[in-house]
């Protein structure tokens, strides 16, 4: 797929004028990112609007003590406008974004996105729609952190990641899992040890968790 074909698939493309379509095309480009790459946050240049063509991005808040609280994830096919927070007046908090799975991105550069979003009502409405959707995801994440037990959150996370891999294996360290589910590494390690002793998972290989008893994890995750 070339850039023009990718741009033509943006949700608001049909509502752009001919000049705006040309502007968006000139200001758009592909970017490949590896797992662990930081694409938004302190010290990182504001990219603009992002559409994830493949892979996954995780958005989180970082405390002064270095603890990460996962807010939401942006998967293949999704659009993220918070990566253009430098041009969105209603975004006032510093969200960090990191690649959790190797990504291919379509980026509409910040100056281009600013021009179009300020002059085209359909694009402006789309920005508010996506921002509202992300806010709902943030609220859901906060609800899980505040009101759900860690074993439930961990079981659900392992199942979701295994499904993404297409096999009963999660390729992550305890530290990576802790960041994903907004917990401490020591707590995650302790819970995984309990899961292993109960025959739910196998943690013998570093950086891999193999699901042994999927039905039991599914029952726990409900």
Q: What is the CATH number of domain 3-143?
A: 2.60.120.10
The predicted pLDDT at position 148 comes to 87
The predicted pLDDT at position 155 comes to 95
Domain ranges of the chain: 3-143, 148-221
The predicted pLDDT at position 27 comes to 95
Q: How many whole angstroms separate alpha carbon 219 and alpha carbon 222? A: 6
Topology of the domain covering 148-221: Arc Repressor Mutant, subunit A (1.10.10)
Series of mean pLDDT values for 10-residue runs along the chain (222 residues): 92 95 96 91 79 94 80 91 66 76 94 91 90 86 86 94 92 93 91 94 93 94 85
The predicted pLDDT at position 48 comes to 87
Give the up-direction half-sphere exposure of residue 132: CA atoms within 13 A in the CB hemisphere. 6
The predicted pLDDT at position 32 comes to 96
The single-letter DSSP state of residue 11 is: T
The predicted pLDDT at position 45 comes to 77
Q: How many whole angstroms separate alpha carbon 123 and alpha carbon 65? A: 38
Is 70 within 8 Å of 59 (Cβ atoms)? yes
């Amino acid at each position: 797929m070339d850039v023009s074909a990718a741009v033509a698939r943006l949700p608001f493309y049909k509502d752009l004028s001919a000049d705006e379509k040309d502007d968006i095309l000139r200001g758009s480009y592909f970017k490949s990112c590896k797992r662990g790459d930081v694409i938004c946050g302190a010290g990182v240049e504001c990219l603009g609007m992002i559409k994830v063509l493949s892979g996954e991005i995780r958005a989180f808040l970082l405390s002064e003590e270095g603890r990460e609280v996962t807010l939401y994830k942006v998967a293949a096919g999704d659009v993220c406008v918070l990566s253009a927070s430098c041009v969105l007046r209603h975004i006032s908090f510093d969200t960090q974004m990191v690649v959790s799975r190797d990504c291919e991105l379509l980026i509409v550069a910040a100056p281009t996105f600013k021009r179009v979003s300020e002059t085209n009502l359909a694009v402006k409405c789309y920005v508010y729609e996506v921002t509202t959707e992300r806010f709902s995801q943030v609220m859901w994440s906060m609800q899980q952190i505040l009101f759900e037990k860690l074993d439930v959150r961990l079981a659900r996370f392992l199942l979701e990641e295994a499904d993404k891999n297409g096999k009963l294996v999660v390729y992550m360290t305890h530290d990576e899992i802790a960041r994903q589910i907004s917990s401490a590494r020591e707590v995650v390690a302790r819970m995984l040890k309990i899961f292993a002793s109960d025959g739910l998972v196998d943690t013998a290989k570093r950086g891999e968790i193999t699901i042994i008893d999927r039905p039991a994890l599914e029952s726990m995750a409900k």
